[in-house]
Amino acid sequence: MKQIRAADDRGHVQQGWLESHHSFSFADYYDPAHMGVSILRVINEDRIAPASGFPTHPHQDMEIVTYVMEGELEHKDSMGNGSLIHPGDIQHMSAGTGVRHSEINPSEHQPVHLLQIWLLPNEKGVPPGYAQKHFPLSERRGTLQLLVSPDGSGGSISAHQDGLLYGTLLEQGESVTHTLTAGRTAYVHVARGQALVNGETLGAGDALTLVDEPQVELSGVDRAEVLLFDLP
């Protein structure tokens, strides 16, 4: 089974400093047909204006991944972490028993463009945790690079959840294939560019859910930056 989630059908919020597109129900946007896929609960595509951002706020029992595409994001949290997240960086935060953090665009001139991803944990009540690692886009070209996993395999970031998150950059004509274990579900999100996914042409912000498919076939159409979730 294949189900397309078109970029233009996502929830949309414009509130001055923030423009956000919600792939799944989030905050004031509610669509019972789009509550998430498997353990993938949130993909928000955010554009934050210069010198703006999310003030300190709490999270609990959620695995949160931040993926910056343009600009930089300043993170501070109640665990004592403070960092700048740049394109190519993957930031992961296990909210666990509770954490507070802020996310601010520190630039006075340049907006920041990012994906905020939430995954349901495989265990609640774990101690909060933080990790950040740089995965150069050049190393993802023409290959699937494992970014987040349950066990940190292949140099990926370890998270308290049962999904695999891969990233790839495909120029026109470049292809990669990912085999799905029986019973697993794939969710493919095109961050930028255009890609052919199991015969479907997807543009920036589009996504495709694959259920009961033996593999995921990705081909670049127009310099595609793609995230692939392999989910239980």
User: What would the pLDDT profile of 109-150 be if each residue is shown by its tens digit?
Assistant: 999 999 999 999 999 999 999 999 999 999 999 999 999 999
CA distance 20 to 10: 10
Predicted local distance difference test score (pLDDT) of residue 4:
98
Predicted local distance difference test score (pLDDT) of residue 128:
98
Predicted local distance difference test score (pLDDT) of residue 203:
98
In this structure, the number of other CB atoms found within 10 A of the CB of residue 62 comes to: 19
In this structure, the number of other CB atoms found within 10 A of the CB of residue 51 comes to: 12
One DSSP character per residue, 68-81 reads EEES-EEEEETTS-
User: What would the pLDDT profile of 21-34 be if each residue is shown by its tens digit?
Assistant: 999 999 999 999 99
Distances from the Cα of 89 to the Cα of 124, 157, 184, angstroms: 26, 11, 27
On whether the CB atoms of residues 213 and 228 are closer than 8 A, the answer is no
Q: For 142, how many CA atoms within 13 A lie in the half-sphere containing its CB?
A: 4
Question: CATH topology of 10-134 equal to that of 138-231?
Answer: yes
108: which DSSP letter?
S
Separation of CA 38 from chain center = 14
Separation of CA 219 from chain center = 20
On whether the CB atoms of residues 57 and 101 are closer than 8 A, the answer is yes
Instruction: Report domain extents, the chain.
Output: 10-134, 138-231
Separation of CA 98 from chain center = 21
Predicted local distance difference test score (pLDDT) of residue 82:
96
On whether the CB atoms of residues 171 and 141 are closer than 8 A, the answer is yes
CA distance 113 to 122: 29
Predicted local distance difference test score (pLDDT) of residue 130:
98
CA distance 198 to 132: 32
CATH 3.60.10.10 applies to domain 10-134:
no
CA distance 75 to 165: 22
Predicted local distance difference test score (pLDDT) of residue 87:
97
| Beta bridge partner(s), residue 86 | none
Sites in the chain below the pLDDT cut of 50: none
Give me 64's structure tokens: 């949160």
Predicted local distance difference test score (pLDDT) of residue 94:
98
CA distance 159 to 137: 21
Looking at the domain that runs over 138-231, which CATH code has it been given?
2.60.120.10
Predicted local distance difference test score (pLDDT) of residue 175:
97
